[in-house]
Chains A and B, each alone.
Chain A
Amino acid sequence: RKEVEQDPGPFNVPEGATVAFNCTYSNSASQSFFWYRQDCRKEPKLLMSVYSSGNEDGRFTAQLNRASQYISLLIRDSKLSDSATYLCVVNPPGNTGKLIFGQGTTLQVKP
């Protein structure tokens, strides 16, 4: 089993739709969690951190479920510009600096 697993998609949704991605992680003692966004042939960039209490940034909401060992990203009112690959990132125990990246979920927002 991979340490961090994501459905690679692609998720094809119309503009204005709400879409959600999940990401599961195997190590229950993992410490912190992030979502990164990567545009085609570009470098990844931090989208948001994921806190135990959940957090929201505009149309984006991230949640953590430690009991079931998954994090989620919800995008409301999808825009064409949201088309990208979303990477789930987990910081394992020990704060070694060795972040673990999921393979990413690709989102295509259509007009």
Chain B
Amino acid sequence: DAGITQSPRHKVTETGTPVTLRCHQTENHRYMYWYRQDPGHGLRLIHYSYGVKDTDKGEVSDGYSVSRSKTEDFLLTLESATSSQTSVYFCAISESRTGAGELFFGEGSRLTVL
């Protein structure tokens, strides 16, 4: 299995509090992604990174920010969590820009915002 670790794996927080999810990889892959998965919507891309300090927005980026200061770490921050951000968050990595390459996912972080 690819070396991807997400933390925390489970978190319950209150509306309005900041939350940071961490994704750590040991594969030295260039591309990293944050997705959220909700019933009826499948996986939706929040942000992605194609290198250190190079990030771009995905389909559902509002309310989220990211940072990548090292190849191995990609942080997802919810500045002020809302109940609509209750979801399962998956980090993924790939060697290529996904045209031909494979996405490897972390085990997911389950976030509940009360």
Interface positions of A (Cβ within 8 A of B): 4, 8, 31-32, 36, 42-46, 49, 87, 91, 95-99, 101-104
From B43, B50, B59, B106, contact of A97 by CB (8 A): B50
Interface size on B, residues (CB 8 A): 25
**Further contacts, 6 of them, CB under 8 A, given A103-B42, A104-B42:** A8-B40, A42-B108, A43-B90, A44-B90, A46-B102, A99-B98
- CA gap between A101 and B42 in the complex, in Å: 6
Pair A97/B48 contact, Cβ less than 8 Å:
yes
DSSP class of A's interface residues: helix, strand, loop or mixed?
loop
Q: A32-B100, A43-B107, A45-B105 are in contact. Are A103 and B48 (CB under 8 A)?
A: no
Q: How far is the CB of A52 from chain B (nearest CB, A)?
A: 13
Contact string, B64-93, partner A, CB cutoff 8 A, digits 1/0? 000000000000000000000000001000
Pair B42/A91 contact, Cβ less than 8 Å:
no
Instruction: Give the most central of B35, B42, B58: most A CB within 10 Å.
Output: B42
Q: A43-B106, A104-B42 are in contact. Are A98 and B58 (CB under 8 A)?
A: yes
- CA gap between A43 and B109 in the complex, in Å: 10
Minimal Cβ-Cβ distance residue in B for A95: B99
B44 within 8 A of A: yes
From A32, A99, A103, contact of B103 by CB (8 A): A99
B97 within 8 A of A: yes
